[in-house]
Amino acid sequence: MAKGTSLEYDEVIAVCKSLFLKKTKDYGTAWRILRLSSITDQIFIKAQRIRTLEETKVNKVGEDITSEYIGIVNYCVIALMQMELRTEDPYELELELVNTLFEQHVNTTKELMFAKNHDYGEAWRDMRISSLTDLILMKILRVKQIEDNAGQTVVSEGIAANYQDMINYAVFALIKLGVK
């Protein structure tokens, strides 16, 4: 389990990170202006597009679901970074800092994945990609509800854990799609 999944996970993350850092070089860290709720909505748009493509099989934009799953991973990492950064921190961050923050959040998320995979026995390998899409959409709706409740939960995990789960579901989908 561990070696295959770990290698596949790292390969997918390398693709996501490469695109993220290239876009950072092109656009800087303009995403710093986004509030957490706006990032959640961006993730929702991507997941909803995947679901629409899965159901209709009609693609009028030209980008496939692979690019949308990559976008979900990267927007979730952005959300985790935004939760860590203070609003008074500068909007423009050095590429090296962005790289370090990306690595930190992905490594923590990967550790969570291994803990859950231990308990669930890598059940995701037997799931349909459409189920992973639905789980991401469910997590988005949970995050929106927590945001609407001003971040307060009674017994549930917080927003960060939901973003981490979305990253892992998207990585699983990308592994199943053969992204390397």
User: How many domains would you assign to the chain?
Assistant: 1
Residue 64 belongs to what domain range?
A: 2-176
Please report which confidence band the pLDDT of residue 2 belongs to, taking 50, 70 and 90 as the band edges: very low
Residues in the chain: 180
The 10s digit of each residue's pLDDT in 58-85 is 777 777 899 999 999 999 999 999 999 9
The rounded distance, in Å, linking the Cα atoms of 111 and 69 is 20
The rounded distance, in Å, linking the Cα atoms of 177 and 180 is 9
Q: Note the pTM of the prediction, 2 decimals.
A: 0.94
